[in-house]
Every structure is written in C-alpha cells, then in structure tokens.
Amino acid sequence: MSTFNVLISREELAKKTKELAQRISEDYRGKELLLVGVLKGGFMFLADLARELTIDVSLDFISCSSYGNATVSSGVVRILKDIDYDITGKHVLLVEDLIDTGLTLTYLKDLFTAKGCASVKVCTILDKPSRRKVEMIADYEGIVIPDAFVVGYGLDYGEKYRNLPDVCSIVSE
C-alpha cells in the first residue's frame, strides 16, 4: 500500500477555499460569472469553491494536458475537451488546482480572451511561484507551496491519488 506525507491538510484547504469564495462572491456580485474548471486536477477544488459561493454562477469545464504521464511539464498545452457554450460577453473565472510553470494558464487566458469574454481571471488553490517559466499571477491565489511534486485534492501521479482529501507528497508506492 502507498504511503504519503500530508503537506496541506483538508482543513487548511477548506479554510483557504472559503476565503477565496468570499472575495469572489463580493467581486462578482451582480455580474454574470462563468466558472471554468480546468480538468482533471481542478475538479475537487471547483466543487468545493462553487459550494462556498454566495452568488449565482454557471459552470463549465475545459480539459487540457501539459504533462502526459510525466512529472515535469513539457510546455506543450493540448486541449482535450473544450467548453460547451458560447462565452461572448461573459465574465470567466478559470479554476485551477495548481500553477506551476504558468504555461497552461497563460495559454488558456489568451484562448479565452480571444473568444471575446468580458473578462478572464484566474483562481488557483495551490501555487508554486518558484517554478514559473512565464509571468502568471493568479487573481485569486490559494496556498503557496515549495517546489515539490504533490498529489491529492485532484492532483494525480499516473492518474492515481486524485481522490486523496489532503495535498501530499508520495513517500512510497
């Protein structure tokens, strides 16, 4: 059986998620907000964030891959599943699990801006600023973590461990 070291507990994740949701609810009150979850890693944070919001929102998902099955970014972003609806004139908030090199969100921000949204902002629960290859500052930033490979709370290693409720490092597989 695999063993893990908990780096960010579920309680810390929940507290930060609530804080971010409060700010987002205040900032977007009276506006038409579309939350776009970045699959697959962002699914758990999106579900928790959406339930803490106190405004009406729409939800959609985009799936992209920059890592394949590797533990380092290749820098190439591929769209595996695009959003379903026309987003012209909508306020879009991209909801991510983790910003690492910043390449994925830079690509997605440019893509959504080109689609004619009223605004495109970024919310992430985890951030590794020391690993940036391009400048990317989240509008709603969660918890800053050091440069270590993590799993859990949506994040995988070879498609496993996404369901762990805490953010962990792998001790042994």
Contacting residues toward ligand 5GP, per CB under 6 A: 41, 66-67, 73, 96-104, 149-151, 155-157
Of residues 48, 100, 127, 166, which has the active-site annotation?
A: 100
| Active-site annotation holds for 100 | yes
Specify the residue, 33 or 38, whose C-beta has the smaller distance to ligand 5GP.
Answer: 38
Specify the residue, 50 or 157, whose C-beta has the smaller distance to ligand 5GP.
Answer: 157
3-class SS string, 111-160: HHHHCCCCEEEEEEEEECHHHCCCCCCCCEEEEECCCCCCEECCECECCE
**Least CB distance to ligand 5GP at residue 74 (A):** 9
Specify the residue, 120 or 151, whose C-beta has the smaller distance to ligand 5GP.
Answer: 151
Specify the residue, 54 or 113, whose C-beta has the smaller distance to ligand 5GP.
Answer: 113
The Cα–Cα gap between 127 and 142 comes to 7
29-34 long-range contacts, CB within 8 A, separation 24+? 29/55, 31/91, 32/58, 32/89, 32/90, 32/91, 33/57, 33/58, 33/90, 33/91, 33/92, 33/93, 34/58, 34/59, 34/60, 34/85, 34/87, 34/90, 34/91, 34/92, 34/93
The Cα–Cα gap between 110 and 84 comes to 18
**Least CB distance to ligand 5GP at residue 54 (A):** 26
**Least CB distance to ligand 5GP at residue 89 (A):** 27
**Least CB distance to ligand 5GP at residue 90 (A):** 22
Task: Give residue for tokens 């059986």.
Answer: 1
* Active site members: 100
